[in-house]
Amino acid sequence: MSAAEWERDAALEMVRAALGAIRDLDNPQQKIEAAGQFARDLRESSDDAGGIRQEEVLALKREGLSFAGIARVAGISKTRASQIVRDGEKGQQVTETVVRTKPETVVAAIITSPRGVLVGRRRDGRPLWTFIAGEHVDGESLEQTAVREAMEETGLAVRITGPIGERKHPRTHRWMAYFAAEPAAGTDAIVGDEDELAEVRWVSLAEADMLMGGTIFEPVHEHLRRTLRG
């Protein structure tokens, strides 16, 4: 166990001990007051931790790392890294108690070209094959999220040509927003986020149907029929 892990475990044990002591108080009023003070102390500690995390993430961004790279180094999600950077650029203090409220909308870029539609094979298999997509974060429009995810995951600069539709995904149960997109300069896609994707490729509509097990959203399917002409 590393020194950092030992310190973390020791701190957690202290928190558990403090909570146990509060529960053991006989006087209800003392218990309420002690619990309130404990909560205030935790919030202050969380604010300090958030400030340290923000400095770390912003330093990595200044070094030129992508959100995916920052996420790997800092041990956080790509969405969280993006949110911290945006808050930092706006001069807002980030706290570790920023509530991870309702799951954010997942935005999918339906990127088409004469080579087909661009899809990715996910490493976690949930689902195995997907369109290029990622979580929307505060401070971005849905369209900006689609453009950012395309660049981070495939290295492609794309332009959004219009919205397609929204739904709750039948397998992941996440709320999805779909946007039509096309490459702005070149179609040579790469795996930009190796933690998330194992492969990206251009496929025909028939291949996309097969890879995704017939779960393509009907408005997306209709868009691809019109754009790819079968």
Determine, yes or no, domain membership for 97: no
> In the chain, how many domains are there?
2
Which residue has better confidence, 198 or 51? Answer: 198
pLDDT at residue number 3: 59
Burial 99-118 (b: 16+ CB within 10 A, else e): eeeeebbbbbbbbbbeebbb
pLDDT at residue number 39: 60
Answer whether residue 69 shows pLDDT above 70: yes
Determine, yes or no, domain membership for 183: yes
| Cα(102)–Cα(114) distance, integer angstroms | 38
- Percent of the chain at pLDDT above 70? 76
Confidence grade of residue 17 (pLDDT, cut at 50, 70, 90): confident
Q: Are residues 133 and 78 in the same domain?
A: no
Which residue has better confidence, 47 or 224? Answer: 224
* Stretch among 69-83, 161-175, 203-217 having the lowest mean pLDDT: 69-83
Determine, yes or no, domain membership for 95: no
Which residue has better confidence, 39 or 28? Answer: 28
pLDDT at residue number 63: 78
Containing structural domain, residue 62: 3-89
Closest CA to 171 of 125, 119, 118: 125
Q: Are residues 134 and 219 in the same domain?
A: yes
Give me 80's structure tokens: 């969280």
Q: Are residues 137 and 77 in the same domain?
A: no
Q: What is the pLDDT of residues 180-193, one digit of tens each?
A: 999 999 999 999 98
CATH number at residue 117: 3.90.79.10
The single residue listed with the structure tokens 């709320």 is 175
C-alpha distance from residue 225 to each of 89, 111, 150, 156, 203 (Å): 41, 13, 22, 23, 13
Mean pLDDT calculated for residue range 95-121: 77
Which residue has better confidence, 77 or 153? Answer: 153
Find out whether 53 and 84 touch, Cβ atoms under 8 Å.
yes
pLDDT at residue number 101: 35
Cα 28 from chain centre: 43
Model pTM score: 0.60
Q: Are residues 50 and 129 in the same domain?
A: no
Q: What is the pLDDT of residues 176-224, one digit of tens each?
A: 999 999 999 999 999 998 888 999 999 999 999 999 988 899 999 999 9
Mean pLDDT calculated for residue range 1-27: 70
Q: Are residues 64 and 177 in the same domain?
A: no
Which residue has better confidence, 2 or 147? Answer: 147
Answer whether residue 71 shows pLDDT above 50: yes
